[in-house]
Amino acid sequence: MRHEDQIQMVRRVMRHVEEGTTSYAPGVHRNPISAYTDPERFRREQETVFRKWPVLIGMSNLVAEPGDYVTEDIAGIPAIIVRDRQGKVRAFRNVCRHRGARLVEGEGCGLKMFSCPYHAWTYTLDGRLKGIPDAKSFDEVDRAEQGLFEMTAIEKYGLIFVQPEGEPVDIDEALGGMQRDLESYGFESFHPYRHLTIRRKFNWKLSPETFMEGYHLQYLHKDTVGPIFFSNLMPFDEFGRNSRLVVPRRRIMELKDRPEDDWKLIPETAIVYTFFPNVTFIMQAGHVEMWRSYPDGAPDRARVEVSVYTPQKVETEKAKAYYEKNIDLAIATVDEEDFPLSEGIQAGHMAAMQDHVTYGRNEPALIHYCTTMEAAIA
């Protein structure tokens, strides 16, 4: 966030503290529980918001050098994200054009070419079919037409997005103004530090939603992060389909004694960006956490990919110890407090215990998210 915006935001937080307020939505909103349980709704979400929209995958250094690649299941689409020899990030369906084998698994570096593990067809990193063993048996195959299926990959602001299908959506339009913040952080030089996959029995939207209000901090997290942050006090802003919540630490009030020009927002907050449709992106002073939530085959199953990025490579033991401690607390809080709670919510929804949930005026991010989602799949 730009420095002038940080000063404005600190003022906004202080006003809320003094007045005992937060950002408010115009009214209460009801969200039907079918949004979490209905198979037809589930199918529509996968086919629209995950396929025809640029989905945030990670930061540029996820594939830092030519030949670096990662694989990703984007709501049922197996994808390879690779940096080609010219340095351009590309995304392909992870499917061999011969008989459909997966070309690569996991992640790796220094790849010169894709070589299918099944019958060794080879493809260049920009997707062209190169080699066919026993080529005479495929003499009717036009190689120019048998390259890998390419998807739209976008690298901007140090971030990588993939849009699996459809007319490419302009990334700046998709970000809806959030790029003003993003371009100030210098994500180009951030490094991936840690990654883990969490599978849970809840609808994929419950992961982003758990980060969308601070109303519960003092209750659910009273013994962990609750005491560190203000509860029920979060300036909220929307950027098209995306949004930002600023979660202030209590010590932010100490800035009052310092000149405004010295005010820095980031060390005094966690800034929660939601990248539509599925990514919670938490900006903190020393690291960024990305919680990328995907449908995992059924309305009540999610796969959450948690990635931590740091501004510098974490190399010394001291730095490692620092990050382990901080990141462990953050991840444990979500994984041991929020996610079990969300599983309970999902179980109630599956048993049709009520027909809707209710979002208060103090939960504007949730209202924005659910109305945006409804509009996107309509």
Which residues contact ligand FES (rule: CB under 6 A)?
A: 96, 98-101, 116, 118-121
Among Fe ion, ligand FES, none, the one that 247 touches (CB under a kind-dependent 5 to 8 A) is none
Q: Does the bond joining 133 to the residue before it have cis omega, within 30 degrees of 0?
A: no
Least Cβ distance, residue 215 to Fe ion (angstroms): 10
Nearer to Fe ion, 79 or 247 (CB): 247
- Nearest residue relative to Fe ion (C-beta): 338
The first and second tokens of residue 159, run together, are 């971030």
From ligand FES, Fe ion, none, interface partner of 228 (C-beta below 5 to 8 A by class): none
Name the residue nearer to Fe ion (CB basis): 81 or 357. 357
Q: Which does 338 bind (CB under 5 to 8 A by kind): ligand FES, Fe ion, none?
A: Fe ion
- Give which of ligand FES, Fe ion, none residue 99 binds (C-beta under 5 to 8 Å, depending on kind): ligand FES
For the chain, the distance separating the N- and C-terminal CA atoms, rounded to the nearest angstrom, is 33
The option from Fe ion, ligand FES, none interacting with 101 (CB < 5 to 8 A, set by class) reads ligand FES
State the nearest-atom distance from the C-beta of 97 to ligand FES, in Å: 7
**E strands present in the chain:** 29-32, 55-59, 69-74, 77-83, 89-93, 107-108, 114-115, 122-123, 129-131, 150-156, 159-163, 191-200, 236-239, 242-248, 269-275, 279-283, 288-295, 302-310, 356-359
Among Fe ion, ligand FES, none, what binds residue 121 when CB lies within 5 to 8 Å by partner kind? ligand FES
Q: In angstroms, rounded to a whole number, what is the distance separating the alpha carbons of residues 75 and 280? A: 16
Q: Whole-number minimum distance, CB 284 to Fe ion, in Å?
A: 15
Whose Cβ is closer to ligand FES: residue 39's or residue 100's? 100
In the complex, least distance from residue 125 CB atom to ligand FES, rounded to whole angstroms: 16
Q: Site residues for Fe ion, window 308-367 (CB under 5 A)?
A: 338
**Nearest approach, Cβ of residue 214 and Fe ion (Å):** 8
Minimum CB–partner distance for residue 116 and ligand FES (Å) = 3
CA–CA separation, 139 and 158 (whole Å) = 43
Nearer to ligand FES, 98 or 249 (CB): 98
Non-local (6+) Cβ contacts of 102 within 8 A are 71, 78, 94, 95, 96, 117
- 121 vs 369 by CB, closer to ligand FES: 121
From the list ligand FES, Fe ion, none, which binds 98 (C-beta under 5 to 8 Å, kind-based)?
ligand FES
**Cβ(151)–Cβ(163) under 8 Å?**
yes
**Residue 210, amino acid:** T
CA distance 181 to 243: 12
Is residue 111 within 8 A of residue 82, CB to CB? The reply is yes
Which of 9/96 has CB closer to ligand FES?
96
- What is the per-residue DSSP string for 54-75? -EEEEEGGGG-STT-EEEEEET
* 268/338 with CB nearer Fe ion: 338
Residue 358 burial (C-beta neighbours within 10 Å; 0-12, 13-18, 19+): exposed
Min separation Cβ 98 and ligand FES, Å? 3
Round to whole Å and give the CA distance between 68 and 83: 6
Nearest approach, Cβ of 86 to ligand FES (angstroms)? 25
Question: Which one of Fe ion, ligand FES, none interacts with residue 249, CB within 5 to 8 A by kind?
Answer: none
Q: Decide: helix, strand or coil at residue 329.
A: helix
Q: How many CB atoms lie within 10 A of CB 2?
A: 11
45 interacts with Fe ion by CB under 5 A: no
CB of 136 to ligand FES, least distance (A): 16
187: partner contacted, choices Fe ion, ligand FES, none (Cβ within 5-8 A by kind): none
Q: Residues in the site for Fe ion, rule: CB under 5 A?
A: 338
